[in-house]
Amino acid sequence: MSGDYQLVQLRNGSQTLFSASYGEKMHPGLGPMAEAELLYVRQLQICKRLKSTAEEFVVWDIGLGGAANAIALLRATREITGRLRIVSFDNSAEPLAFAQKNAAALAYPVGYETQLAELLENKSVTFQSGNLAATWEFHLSDFPELLASWSSRISVPRSDKLKLELPSTPHAIFFDAFSPAKNPAMWTLPVFEALFRTLDPARPCALTTYSRSTLVRATLLLAGFFVGVGHATGLKEETTIAANSLNLLAEPLGQRWLERALRSDCAEPLREAVYARTALSPATANQLRKHPQFISPS
């Protein structure tokens, strides 16, 4: 390992991972266990939705990192009888290996060291998690490039997807990449457009992320998502939740947000992997105004 990751202690006493290369902590507000459970598992109502789903419930975990979000999901669903598939993505296995090595200090990986070891070794592990039959996959690759490689195959019949080695279509998405300022390649409009194309219109899917920025919300809207206000967590007064079905949003963004976005000096989506703070272009502003979320039914 390169030594990029370090243990750091937060104000509440919990330990988390710090990346020297990105200059950012993971779960810097409440710490890995509490923040992952609140922001990702509870906000997306995973337990409620899993209980009401007869088929395998699929979660895409974008930004695996030290696996705090995935492990929070496993802990929260142990008492539910069903099938869960976690599909994790990251361009590095280093934070996962670091978390496994420092399980005792971090606390949240304790009890899952065997699964983490197999995931690191084989990129897939199947196991019984309490009452739940769990499968956990790890795609070690550049996520934007991976999405681009799938985009030409998205239109094939769903029955043929296994032949093309496309992952299972998600019911929920954890989006936990480093920030747009430090990792702009993960937050571009082409990435979210490609992500939206992978969704099955017949399968309601909700995505949540820690960012509440106007830029991120505008990007999600322009990519095709409906977007709403997410729960406060740690250092964030708001987060963001998006979905391919408006019914999955408790508090959709409304006209007041749109008016603020039109006045903002940092709202134009990133078209390429270069971070920039700019106001909405006239064309982009017009696209936002025409989004179905902001058009009142006649």
The full DSSP string for 173-228 is EEE-PSPTTT-GGGS-HHHHHHHHHHS-TTS--EEEES---HHHHHHHHHHT-EEE
| 239 neighbors 43 (Cβ within 8 angstroms) | yes
Written as six digits, the tokens of 127 are 């196991």
Mean pLDDT of the chain: 91
pLDDT at 128 > cutoff 80: yes
Question: Which band of pLDDT confidence, cut at 50, 70 and 90, is reported for residue 287?
Answer: very high
Written as six digits, the tokens of 146 are 């991976």
How large a percentage of the chain has pLDDT more than 70?
A: 92
Does residue 133 belong to any structural domain of this protein? yes
Does residue 293 belong to any structural domain of this protein? no
Task: Report, as an integer, the average pLDDT of 60-82.
Answer: 96
pLDDT at 95 > cutoff 90: yes
Written as six digits, the tokens of 43 are 């906000």
Task: Report, as an integer, the average pLDDT of 56-70.
Answer: 97
Does residue 199 belong to any structural domain of this protein? yes
What integer pLDDT is reported at residue 231 of this predicted model?
82
Q: What is the pLDDT of residues 14-45, one digit of tens each?
A: 899 999 999 998 888 788 888 899 999 999 99
Does residue 50 belong to any structural domain of this protein? yes
Burial of 103 (0-12, 13-18, 19+ CB in 10 A): middle
What integer pLDDT is reported at residue 297 of this predicted model?
63
Task: Report, as an integer, the average pLDDT of 85-95.
Answer: 96
Does residue 2 belong to any structural domain of this protein? no
What integer pLDDT is reported at residue 69 of this predicted model?
96
pLDDT at 221 > cutoff 60: yes
**CA separation for the pair 218, 268 (Å, rounded):** 7
Amino acid in position 262? L
pLDDT at 234 > cutoff 70: no
Does residue 116 belong to any structural domain of this protein? yes
Lowest mean pLDDT among 160-174, 188-202, 207-221, 282-296: 160-174
pTM: 0.93
The CATH number covering residue 240 comes to 3.40.50.150
Q: What is the pLDDT of residues 254-263, one digit of tens each?
A: 999 999 999 9
Which of 91, 57, 89, 90 has its CA nearest to residue 74? 57
Domain tally, the chain: 1
Task: Report, as an integer, the average pLDDT of 82-111.
Answer: 96
Q: Which domain holds residue 60?
A: 28-254
Q: What is the pLDDT of residues 130-163, one digit of tens each?
A: 999 999 999 999 999 998 887 666 555 544 444 4
Does residue 94 belong to any structural domain of this protein? yes
Q: What angle do CA 86, 89, 93 make, to 5 degrees?
A: 110
Does residue 221 belong to any structural domain of this protein? yes
Quickly count helices (H) and strands (E) in the chain: 11, 11
